[in-house]
A and B are shown apart, each in its own frame.
Chain A
Amino acid sequence: MGLDIRWPIGLMFSLVGLFMTVFGFATKGDAEMYRRSLDININLIWGIVLLVFGCFMLWMASRRKNDAGTPGRK
């Protein structure tokens, strides 16, 4: 099929990662909110993880060296 699934996966996780990173950054001083997550700003950390994962997927898709998403019809 002509759609490389890595594009939507990469885009979605980059977007969600971005939301969480920005939110985590904006709520940096909010000790009350992060008491739940054991005083770790988990939004910031995990947001960055998601962002990195999303960008990695996008990078893989853009290389297109691997034939994964290109039309595989015989």
Chain B
Amino acid sequence: MQVTLTWLDYLILLTYTGFVVGIGFALKKYMRSSSDFLTSARSLPTWVTGLAFISANLGALELVGMAASGAKYGIIQANFYWVGAIPAMVFLAIFMMPFYYGSKARSVPEYLKMRFDGRVRTLNSLSFAVMTVFASGISMNALAKLLHLLLGWDYNISLWICSFVVLLYVLKGGLTSAIYTEVLQFFMIVLGFAPVVYLGLKDVGGYHAMTQMLKGIAANPSTLHLREAGITYRADAWTSAWKPLLAGPAYNPMGVDWFAMVFGLGFVLSFGYWCTNFLVVQRAMAARNMTAARNTPLVAAVPKMLFPALVILPGMIAVALMTLPNKGYRIPAPILDNAVYARAMAVVTADANAPADQAFKDVSAAVGKKMDPEKVAALVRDCAAKPLAPDVFQDRLWNAVTEYDYDGTILSLVKRYCPPGLLGLALTGLLASFMSGMAGNVTAFNTVWTYDLYQAYFAPNKSDAHYMRMGQIMTIVGILLSIACAYFASMYNNAMDIIQLVFAFVNAPLFGTFLLGMFWKRTTGTGAFLGLIFGTATSGVVHALTISQGNAPGMKGGYLGVLYTFPSEMAQNFWLAICAFLVCFSLTAGISLATARTKSDEDLKGLVYSLTPKIRDEGTPWYQRPAVLGTVLIAVCVVINFILR
């Protein structure tokens, strides 16, 4: 699996690192107040905040995970980019940005304070602060492991060096520096991975040829060990974005129904993420004026719409490549420990004269994975004839495993197609995606801590220099906490899964609170607070009482008894979110009606739709009007979906 870098690859990597750090130092002289440092003093142009908006979202885990899902589910995964992002981004731009930006709030939790009260703000800022630290820790752990496997770099060294680079430029240039480097990283990621996708597509003979191969495999995915034997899908399962979905959960590889996809992902989860997550909203809030702020998500929506070609297509190419035996490609198997190799070696030697099926059973047991009988038999035979060199043995044993480590897909393609030079560029793109994700988390974390927790509760009336100092200290603290979380993640994989699950619970109901808060002046702080808590509790309870097919009760749900079985984990996630949203929405509305308003119409001016003067766009040219741009974007998105239906 390992590759070696040449001097040119290192040169490209170093050039990139030099530039991102340089940007931080160049911006240092502009950091004069806490608002310069934490909010960019609302001074940036749209195209910059727009590209940063999308780049902060495009972390390394996304790059790796989307290719994996492309291989597992095919083009249906692209719905996460279309139905699962574009409508929410347009909604944020047209309807919600006026309140975020117009209220002069410095963060999303601060908006909640203005709209409701301190309780809602604290609840949101606490969960958000913890979430950002864990999110960046988890992705750092994944990246350091990846670099270790691929390049043989030491886990600790890559972890600390990458973090140090991010620390350096965020500490010097604050949010502006994070946003500027995110723009640079955006281009780095796109330009670094585009040639790999191009070469892959050319290798399989073009898009049309690829879809033909995927159609061939959909009827019987077990021939490539993609699914258990006996499972069969419609021919267009990997190549159509909507038809398999409309046909029902049994007919698409993802196992979801269209309603869960559209309502669960497209409405609840997507609006909950894009419209309320301070990590992305912060980029738009740094824009220089209201029009620029509103257009930020719209600028971001353009690349978002096209990204499936960059991140999901590679997974589909990988599966198509596997259908061509002469290409000699496979999605890599899970990495095996040295102990496993030693155990397998002993078994293979001992079974040299045993019958083939006995030897196969023993070797499979020693490895602990599903294996290919023919390859195992050949390996045993060859070993008996002449002892194999350890690396040859390991390689052949690893190749005989028929399970896939889908997360290795994108890097296996990089490795396959990139000569020295391009390899450095693609790896730099990967590092860039990691850094942009981490810097995004850290800049959101230091702002929320400084303004929403520290200034609100610990030290209200201090000088601005004091808060600026705090912002800088929290940048360091945030990065150190992320590193701690990365180590934690490397030690307790299960604990990490639980934490991510809890965050999914916390996020699911959020949009209900914002929707009511922004569009119904009667919503009260008590209603919002209790609605959020019970919404979160609902997802926890539903999770504890349901399960998805093929999972045993436990981590994946059903530990309090199984009331309902979903066809897939994805369907379970979507329905959890739907339940949480509905409970949060109806409870918030009900409790609001039962409690007295604490804020007058005058207090809510600029915070609630009906009490805020409409923004008049007549003065701006049509191509800068959010409503026009949003409509065009939605139309283009519909056309793309129709073509790939």
Please list the residues of chain A having a beta carbon within 8 angstroms of any beta carbon in chain B: 1-3, 5, 8-9, 11-13, 15-16, 19-20, 23-24, 33-34, 36-38, 40, 42-43, 46-47, 49-50, 53, 67-69, 71-74
Contact = CB atoms under 8 A, between A and B. Distances in A.
22 contacts: A1-B30, A1-B40, A1-B43, A1-B44, A1-B176, A5-B183, A16-B16, A16-B425, A19-B11, A19-B12, A20-B12, A23-B420, A37-B199, A38-B417, A42-B195, A42-B199, A43-B420, A46-B425, A67-B45, A68-B45, A68-B48, A72-B45
B416 A20 contact: no
Given A8-B26, A16-B16, A46-B191, 10 more contacts: A3-B180, A9-B184, A13-B191, A15-B15, A20-B422, A24-B421, A34-B419, A43-B419, A46-B195, A72-B43
Contacts of A47: 421
Contact of A2 (B19, B30, B419, B422): B30
Interface in B108-133: none
Contacts of B23: 3, 5, 8
A24 B336 CA distance: 37
Given A1-B43, A12-B184, A73-B43, A36 B27 contact: no
B356 interface: no
Interface string B193-222: 001000100110000000000000000000
Contact of B417 (A15, A16, A37): A37
Interface residues of B, number: 38
A57 B40 CA distance: 23
Contacts of A40: 199
A51 to B, nearest CB: 11
Contacts of B195: 42, 46
B534 interface: no
Contacts of A67: 45
Contacts of B180: 1, 3, 5, 8
Nearest to B289: A74
Question: At the interface, is chain A mostly helix, strand, loop or mixed?
Answer: helix
Contact of A20 (B41, B187, B425): B425
A33 B15 contact: no
Closest 3 CB pairs of A and B: A43-B421, A72-B43, A68-B45
B47 interface: yes
Interface centre among A1, A23, A49, A68 (most CB of B within 10 A): A1
B540 interface: no
Given A1-B40, A15-B15, A33-B419, A68 B27 contact: no
* Residue from A8, A16, A24, A72 having most chain B Cβ neighbours under 10 A: A16
A8 to B, nearest CB: 5
B44 A16 contact: no
Contacts of B416: 36
A69 B425 CA distance: 27
Contacts of B48: 5, 68
A40 B417 CA distance: 10
Interface of B: 8, 11-12, 15-16, 19, 22-23, 26-27, 30, 40-41, 43-45, 47-48, 176, 180, 183-184, 187, 191, 195, 199, 202-203, 288-289, 416-422, 425
A8 B44 contact: no
Contacts of A19: 8, 11-12, 15, 421
A13 B187 contact: yes
Contacts of B41: 1, 73
Nearest to A2: B30
Contact of B184 (A5, A38, A53): A5
A37 B180 CA distance: 32
A13 B176 CA distance: 20
Nearest to B186: A9
A6 B168 CA distance: 21
A42 B417 CA distance: 10
A49 B12 CA distance: 15
Contacts of A73: 41, 43
Contacts of B43: 1, 71-73
A15 B26 CA distance: 19
Nearest to A9: B184
Contacts of A11: 19
A68 B513 CA distance: 36
B15 A12 contact: yes
Contacts of B27: 1, 3
Nearest to B191: A50
A16 B184 CA distance: 13
Nearest to A67: B45
B265 to A, nearest CB: 33
Contacts of B203: 38
B286 to A, nearest CB: 10
Contacts of B199: 37-38, 40, 42
Given A24-B421, A37-B422, A16 B183 contact: no
A33 B427 CA distance: 18
A68 B19 contact: no
A9 B418 contact: no
A46 B184 contact: no
Contacts of B288: 72, 74
Nearest to B8: A23
Contacts of A72: 43-45, 288
